[in-house]
Amino acid sequence: MHRNVEAPAGYDRSVRRKAVNLSLNTDLVTRAKGLTRNLSGTVEYLLTGFVEQEEARQRASDERLDAVISALDAFHEQHGLLSDDFPSL
């Protein structure tokens, strides 16, 4: 799968590895083992890409939310709050 391709460097590769238990389809695992000599390394490489993609997606979502909040703050600064005109609401 990823022969001699460096994994993205978005995590500390010096941290010790830990055995984990996963429930995976046995046919899929058998087929994957036939495609790579290092299933753990292949899964780690793919998981790194997934984590980086999801973290980037979350950052983008946070940035959009921050932009909306900033726009609302600017609107309120310029026009005031509706409750200022209708205090009994």
pLDDT band at 6 (very low <50, low <70, confident <90, very high): low
The CA R_g of the chain, rounded to the nearest whole Å, is 24
pTM over 0.85: no
Residue 3 has pLDDT above 80, yes or no: no
What pLDDT, on a 0 to 100 scale, did the predictor assign at position 5? 52
pLDDT band at 89 (very low <50, low <70, confident <90, very high): low
User: What is the sign, positive or negative, of the torsion defined by CA atoms of 65, 70, 71, 76?
Assistant: positive
Give me the chain's average pLDDT, please.
Answer: 87
Residue 84 has pLDDT above 90, yes or no: no
